[in-house]
Amino acid sequence: MSLALYDTWSRTVRPFAPLQTDHVGLYCCGPTVYDYAHIGNLRTYVFEDVLRRVLMLNGYEVRHIVNITDVGHLVSDADEGEDKMEKGSRRTGKSAWEIAEHYTEAFLSDWRALNLLEPTAWPRATDHIPEQLEFIAALQRKGYTYQTADGLYFDTTRQDDYGHLARLDRAGLRAGTRVAMGEKRDVSDFALWKFSPMNSKRQMEWDSPWGRGFPGWHIECSAMSAKHLGPWFDIHCGGEDHIGVHHSNEIAQTQACHGTRLANFWMHGHFLMLDDRKMAKTDGDFVRLQTLVDQGIDPLAYRYLCLTAHYRSTLRFTEEAITAAQSALDRLRKAYLDWPGGGTADEGFVRRFDAEVGQDLNLPRALAVLWELVRSELPAATRRATVDHFDTVLGLRLAEWQVLAPDIPANVAALLTVREEARAGKNWAEADRLRDALRALGWRVEDSASGQRLSPDEK
């Protein structure tokens, strides 16, 4: 097999080869846990999951790290405004720590419902304060920092190629800047450490050689990726919004400290749009995976929808699109269930599928190969074995699907799938909540050794 991936750094699709034979280090910027994830965020994680599965298909062992940002991400990516966690705390009346716990749990439940593979580690920013302090101290020793009244900043003017990832026009940025810079010397400079405000106490704060405060969002990812993968690893991913600020700053810090640009490949998923808007957490009324489940949509139908668009094109979310994805998935499941086991995969189809996914993850073309196979005249057992191979990348859990009695409504079936995920993840509180939700719809669910048993609630 051959694998070529688009690298934002070089702006080209180029052949992928691991830095160390057979091992691939993959770092994906994780959620900021001050609110629920929306289906836009989840599109990015589906893209990264497919990438990981394709790397595995190529025989690589993947060390996959997804961080949890539970401190330091300010309301504006440019170091302005309040910490999102502390703001979330004011909004809900819970402590910043409780907020982080609650939304991390909710995130993990979405993660499992989409059949995303468990990463090797989920490092939390608040568990890596010493590593971040050490990183900042090294930057200071090398002369890359300066202090202002509100924090310690990174001096981006020290690097001629600062912003190369985003092809930043630095002169243009400076000329056009209208934002209040405070004591920042250059518009691109960014906070490594922010001081706690003088007149109020933060819930999340730590002592440092520069004063009590909290880390900047960018240093978290540089420090945690270096700790878990080393300062030069294979692939760093995130959504396209990270190119201009967050990833440019991660690169700047790591280059200053370790002399590397952190990752050999930089890959970015394009946005999910709702009408003509980018879906964003700050909008408030965003669509969650749970919103879809409540409408009778299976989480895996959302996964299927993500596969229908190339990760480097924007995907518009509409009612029609998700309904079409659900019916395509239903058709696929139904066809698959009718096929007997015991066959072997068709080599020609496998080769074509592998070639499509190996060409910068061309999932829309891979799905076309899948449907061609489904409609083909090949023996049913051969089709089943071939689809089993495809599903190692698609992740639609076709082999695990069971028919439910036809009189079970779609929203009940969807809740049951989500509950199965919660059970698999030992999230008993969520499983209980879903049992109550099913009860409210008139269905009783019992757990048995062979899985969940559903019956109409007689009372």
Residues interacting with Zn ion, by CB under 5 A? 29, 221
Take residue 159 and report the two structure tokens written for it.
């690097």
Residue 358 binds ligand AMP (CB under 6 A): no
* Three state DSSP letters for 84-141: HHHHHHHHHCCCHHHHHHHHHHHHHHHHHHCCCCCCCECCEHHHCHHHHHHHHHHHHH
Closest approach, Cβ 60 to ligand AMP, in A, equals 22
Nearer to ligand AMP, 31 or 358 (CB): 31
In one-letter notation, the amino acid at residue 377 is E
Stretch that binds ligand AMP, among 17-25, 28-36, 226-234, 383-391 (CB under 6 A): 28-36
> Are 154 and 253 within 8 A, CB to CB?
yes
Closest approach, Cβ 457 to ligand AMP, in A, equals 38
Q: Give the span between the Cα atoms of 150 and 193, in whole angstroms.
A: 9
Nearer to ligand AMP, 220 or 420 (CB): 220
**Strand pairing partners for 455?**
444
Interface with ligand AMP (CB under 6 A), residue from 16, 25, 26, 31 = 31
Stretch that binds ligand AMP, among 187-195, 265-273, 316-324, 327-335 (CB under 6 A): 265-273
Nearer to Zn ion, 221 or 357 (CB): 221
Nearer to ligand AMP, 32 or 132 (CB): 32
Closest approach, Cβ 251 to Zn ion, in A, equals 11
Closest approach, Cβ 29 to Zn ion, in A, equals 3
Nearer to Zn ion, 71 or 398 (CB): 71
**Strand pairing partners for 206?**
213
The entry of Zn ion, ligand AMP, none that residue 165 binds, CB within 5 to 8 Å by partner kind: none
Nearer to ligand AMP, 51 or 345 (CB): 51
The entry of ligand AMP, Zn ion, none that residue 279 binds, CB within 5 to 8 Å by partner kind: ligand AMP
Stretch that binds ligand AMP, among 133-141, 153-161, 239-247, 254-262 (CB under 6 A): 239-247
Q: By CB under 6 A, how many residues form the interface with ligand AMP?
A: 19
Residue 145 binds ligand AMP (CB under 6 A): no
Q: Give the span between the Cα atoms of 250 and 273, in whole angstroms.
A: 26
From first CA to last CA, the distance across the chain in angstroms is: 58
The entry of ligand AMP, Zn ion, none that residue 18 binds, CB within 5 to 8 Å by partner kind: none
Closest approach, Cβ 237 to ligand AMP, in A, equals 7
Query: Strands 23-28, 232-239: parallel, antiparallel or unpaired by DSSP?
Result: parallel
The entry of Zn ion, ligand AMP, none that residue 32 binds, CB within 5 to 8 Å by partner kind: ligand AMP
In one-letter notation, the amino acid at residue 457 is D
Closest approach, Cβ 279 to ligand AMP, in A, equals 4
Nearer to Zn ion, 65 or 332 (CB): 65
Residue 29 binds ligand AMP (CB under 6 A): yes
Nearer to ligand AMP, 6 or 353 (CB): 6
The entry of ligand AMP, Zn ion, none that residue 133 binds, CB within 5 to 8 Å by partner kind: none
Interface with ligand AMP (CB under 6 A), residue from 213, 239, 299, 395 = 239
Residue 72 binds ligand AMP (CB under 6 A): no
Closest approach, Cβ 327 to Zn ion, in A, equals 37
For residues 193-222, one letter each, b for 16 or more C-beta atoms within 10 angstroms of the residue's C-beta and e for the rest, the string is bbbbeeeeebebbbebebeebbbbbbbbbb
> Are 125 and 69 within 8 A, CB to CB?
yes
Take residue 433 and report the two structure tokens written for it.
């909540």
Q: Give the span between the Cα atoms of 393 and 3, in whole angstroms.
A: 14
Owner of token pair 């691109």: 188
Closest approach, Cβ 311 to ligand AMP, in A, equals 10
Interface with ligand AMP (CB under 6 A), residue from 242, 303, 384, 419 = 242
347-358 and 39-57 helices, crossing angle to 10°: 120
Nearer to ligand AMP, 31 or 151 (CB): 31
Nearer to ligand AMP, 278 or 312 (CB): 278
Residue 272 binds ligand AMP (CB under 6 A): yes
Closest approach, Cβ 91 to ligand AMP, in A, equals 16
Closest approach, Cβ 76 to ligand AMP, in A, equals 13
Q: Which residues bind ligand AMP (CB under 6 A)?
A: 29, 31-32, 40-41, 43-44, 69, 238-239, 241-242, 269, 271-272, 278-281
